[in-house]
Structure 1
Amino acid sequence: MMHADLIDQDDLISQLRAIGLDVPSGLSAEQACAQAVRGLNDDRARALRQLVEKLLSGSATILPAVRQAIDQQLLPALAAYKQSA
């Protein structure tokens, strides 16, 4: 459930879906992030990068498991994609 001041794994999955990624319900934050970076292309990488920037710069509190998943899954995958593109 989306709360204005808290981002949990369900919120993360909802936001990943909102940018067009196919992420099943019931995944952990780590699994959702791993799913999100599979098959990155320019459009998906751009949308994902914008989402990460929005999450990290917002005022909402990101639960530790979600923050760890972003740090360990999304950020390295986006950096690697940017270097290879």
Structure 2
Amino acid sequence: MNRTEAQDIVKESITRVVPDADFTGIGPDVPFRDTLEMDSLDFLGFIETLSKRTGIRIDDEDTPQLTTLSSSTEFLLAHTK
């Protein structure tokens, strides 16, 4: 998986939980949870979707790494090598 593929998976996983998500105003290091007004159930849905799509186990202690587009992308890249 390359960086572009990983970022696309992150965005697609968010969009499954927040269908009208607009990424134009979200920089790579901006916490998307607040920007997209995701509550805790939405965020959990994102984590579950991301895990199912990638086959990567995501533990509770991993979730702080999944708050921005860039950190989520880096997480995927680090766990697919």
Larger radius of gyration: 1
Structure holding more strand per residue: 1
